Amino acid sequence: MAFAQLLIRLPEWLENHLGKDETVLPDLEDRMRLVIELSRLNIEEKTGGPFAAGVFDNKGRLIAPGVNLVENAACSILHAEIVALSLAQKSLNRFDLGDGGKLKYELVTTTEPCAMCYGAIPWAGISRLVCGARDEDARSIGFDEGPKLKNWIDELQLRGIKVHCDVLRDKAASVLHKYAKSGGTIYNSGSR
């Protein structure tokens, strides 16, 4: 019996938005500003939920962006962080982005990761996680972040992954609130 296959691909508007040249953003807030803009556009273009992310190298070069594709791709796995990590690994042809600690890659995400994306981070080989809005901002519009450790930051740091929170938090959270006001779907892990 033939089973389904799933192609993970970015929406067309996203590559158009970023243009033909490489995206290189040496400033951390600029990197966060970019992913927040992608989260806003993901709502506007009706391609998914109000979340975006990006994997950058240590020069600030964007290896792969990600946006939430859950509804349109009919796949609960395709959170922005998962999309960005998968496509960055595919792009570099390496399941451990850090190559055992030799290389430095960063995941920038508009909202602190849910339980799944959190669990994905240690496997992916990134050196640093940078977050905009907090868990509580996502919860405030009705998203459940899932069963997550209280000391989630410590556990990443124990594994050698730095965590940098609250980068342009208000700007990131404002996209979440805009999504909720516009009546966007709040799909949840407690909905069955």
CB 42 within 8 A of CB 68: yes
Which is nearer to a second copy, 183 or 191 (by Cβ)?
191
Relative to beta strand 162-164, strand 128-133 is parallel
Q: Is 64 in the site for a second copy (CB under 8 A)?
A: yes
Q: Is 85 in the site for a second copy (CB under 8 A)?
A: yes
Q: Is 59 in the site for a second copy (CB under 8 A)?
A: no
Q: Where are the alpha helices (DSSP H) in 69-114?
A: 70-73, 80-92
φ, ψ for residue 103 (rounded to 5)?
A: -115, 155
x/- binding map, residues 120-139, to a second copy, per CB under 8 A? x-xxxx-x------------
Integer Cα distance of 79 and 146 in angstroms? 13
Q: Is 5 in the site for a second copy (CB under 8 A)?
A: yes
Mark the segment that binds a second copy (CB under 8 A) among 27-35, 39-47, 94-102, 173-181.
94-102
Q: Is 95 in the site for a second copy (CB under 8 A)?
A: yes
CB 57 within 8 A of CB 105: yes
Q: Pick one of 146, 162, 163, 165: the residue that binds a second copy (CB under 8 A).
A: 146
